[in-house]
Amino acid sequence: MRPWTALGVLATALLMTVLDGSIVTVAMPAIQADLGFTPTGLSWVVNAYLIAFGALLLLAGRLGDLLGRKRMFLAGTGVFTAASLLAGVAASPAVLIAARFLQGVGSAMASAVSLGILVTLFTEPRERAKAIAVFSFTGAAGASIGQVAGGLLTDALSWNWIFFINLPIGIAALLLAVPALPADRPAAAGGRADAIGAVLVTSGLTTGIYAVVTIGEYGAGSAHTLGLGALALVLLAGFLVRQATAAQPLMPLRILRSRAVAGANLVQMLMVAALFSFQILVALYLQKVLGYGAAETGLAMLPAAAVIGVVSLGLSARLIARFGERNVLLTGLVLLVGVLGLLARVPVRASYAVDLLPVMLLAAGFGLALPALTGLAMSGAREADAGLASGLFNTTQQIGMALGVAVLSTLAASRTESLAAAGRPAAEALTGGYHLAFAVGAGLLVAAFAVAFTLLRNPQPKPKGKPQKPAGQPHRARLTV
């Protein structure tokens, strides 16, 4: 039972961070009114978290391999929980933004190693598929639950409670993690991490994500965006050069030579960027066009969470065992193309039962695609690189999310403005903007299907042999230049 208890701990921590992200988006108007945020400043309640989280995932994953994944998970969960308390008592914009940044740091530390811990606990393919399905469902369902909980907590109590709710969850996760997670034995040999590489990748990702999340403020073609984007590319190129020459690289480039790892991460980036339009823009459509309230919006999207749960928990592991990860992933992507294809035609005066419920039911494709994609991404990594592979998978997820937010929301806003300028009514102009974003998202999913079909293969079963001897005594990792 111990591996399943450990899975429960990992899923609980994931649920906490996912809930936090979706709850915050619902409570933004109340936060702005109470703390006096400017419209531009309010965006940093989200941006501060995204920058810290996305920039540190890769580094945290590798340090988890070197220092011990359990240590990294416990430290990250502790930081996130403490930062949630600080966010809940924040009385000024500066304090709340700082707390959100710290939440991103803690979330990166815990999330980066979670999949690495999971795949080392569950080595038998069928059991691993079940565990990944549970983990994937937790993330997918948490977003919908967060939208409902955010509306209820904000309406019934205050926005502060969207952060206070993390305290009992975080404390419970910490108390259960100590006995449930495996002993802290570093898996990577050598015990050193490349300090120059750490600086290059962290600064490159920070700069790149900052450039992306501020596109709405400065514009995609501005000197600000293009200059920072170019700087980010230079820093990340320098990181790759450093990894090719360093004696003990932070990210051994051998991990990218795996078709499974490289292909799965590229597919995920495209898929997550596309599905931003489902998770966020559908909620905006429901509220701004159809006039739903915050709690109504969350309830309207609950069928999607329900079918994702049924498919990921009840079917995906068995389908993967029978047909393989690749085939299940391709099927899921086809269903998701149907989701965004239908949304690209949704009318201004939509009927929920006729126009939106079928969309929510087709979201079952996510319950097929994500567990299969996760299994493929982790199957190509050595055990010593499990934390790094986990961190890389989470990093591409965040990059895809940031790109989806920037590109699709910018396209939707631009299209809406042009339709409004042409004299279209507000609801019709908004719907036209969302239509464009949904259509582009469907195109991204078609590209993800093409990449998966071309690059990915079902992993070959590993030959059974003598069990390996346990790893030696833990050794301390240190940064070295």
Gap between the Cα atoms of 178 and 2, Å rounded:
12
Q: Which pLDDT score is estimated for 86?
A: 94
pLDDT band with cut points at 50, 70 and 90 for residue 193: low
- For residue 54, give the CATH number of its domain: 1.20.1250.20
Residue 475 lies in a domain: no
Whether 152 shows a pLDDT value over 70: the answer reads: no
Gap between the Cα atoms of 321 and 458, Å rounded:
11
Whether 464 shows a pLDDT value over 60: the answer reads: no
Q: Which pLDDT score is estimated for 480?
A: 37
Residue 178 sits in which domain range?
A: 1-132+146-184
Residue 206 lies in a domain: yes
Using an 8 Å Cβ cutoff, are 101 and 206 in contact? no
Q: Which pLDDT score is estimated for 5?
A: 83
Identify whether residues 159 and 177 lie together within a single domain. Answer: yes
Residue 479 lies in a domain: no
Identify whether residues 210 and 113 lie together within a single domain. Answer: no
Identify whether residues 223 and 302 lie together within a single domain. Answer: no
Q: Which pLDDT score is estimated for 148?
A: 63
Residue 199 lies in a domain: yes
Alpha carbon of residue 400 to chain centroid = 8
Share of the chain above pLDDT 90, in %: 18
Identify whether residues 168 and 62 lie together within a single domain. Answer: yes
Residue 41 lies in a domain: yes
Question: Is residue 468 exposed (0-12), middle (13-18) or buried (19+ Cβ within 10 Å)?
Answer: exposed
Residue 53 lies in a domain: yes
**Most confidently predicted of 65-74, 237-246, 421-430:** 421-430
Identify whether residues 57 and 34 lie together within a single domain. Answer: yes
Residue 137 lies in a domain: no
Identify whether residues 213 and 273 lie together within a single domain. Answer: no
pLDDT band with cut points at 50, 70 and 90 for residue 39: low
Q: Which pLDDT score is estimated for 95?
A: 92
Whether 9 shows a pLDDT value over 80: the answer reads: yes
Whether 446 shows a pLDDT value over 90: the answer reads: yes
Domain count across the chain: 3
Whether 467 shows a pLDDT value over 70: the answer reads: no
pLDDT band with cut points at 50, 70 and 90 for residue 476: very low
Question: Of 177, 181, 31, 162, which Cα lies nearest the Cα of 103?
Answer: 162
Identify whether residues 364 and 264 lie together within a single domain. Answer: yes
Q: 269-289: string of b/e by CB count within 10 Å (b at 16+)?
A: bbbbbbbbbbbbbbbbbbbeb
Report, as an integer, the average pLDDT of 170-176.
Answer: 89
Q: Which pLDDT score is estimated for 144?
A: 61
3-state helix, strand, coil in the chain (%, to 5): 80, 0, 20
Residue 29 lies in a domain: yes
Question: Of 73, 175, 17, 103, which Cα lies nearest the Cα of 386?
Answer: 73
Identify whether residues 393 and 306 lie together within a single domain. Answer: yes
Whether 50 shows a pLDDT value over 60: the answer reads: yes
Identify whether residues 85 and 219 lie together within a single domain. Answer: no
Three-class SS state of 160 = coil
Q: Which pLDDT score is estimated for 338?
A: 93
Q: Which pLDDT score is estimated for 187?
A: 52
Using an 8 Å Cβ cutoff, are 245 and 194 in contact? no
Using an 8 Å Cβ cutoff, are 377 and 264 in contact? yes
Identify whether residues 349 and 406 lie together within a single domain. Answer: yes
Q: What is the dihedral of CA 315, 276, 9, 314, to 10 degrees?
A: -10
Using an 8 Å Cβ cutoff, are 427 and 296 in contact? no
Q: Tell me the per-residue pLDDT of 309-342, one tens digit each, with 9 for 90 and over.
A: 788 777 887 888 888 888 999 999 999 999 999 9
Q: Tell me the per-residue pLDDT of 208-241, one tens digit each, with 9 for 90 and over.
A: 878 877 777 787 778 888 898 899 899 989 988 8
Using an 8 Å Cβ cutoff, are 329 and 311 in contact? no
Identify whether residues 397 and 439 lie together within a single domain. Answer: yes
Identify whether residues 423 and 355 lie together within a single domain. Answer: yes
- The model's pTM: 0.74
Q: Which residue has the higher pLDDT, 147 or 368?
A: 368
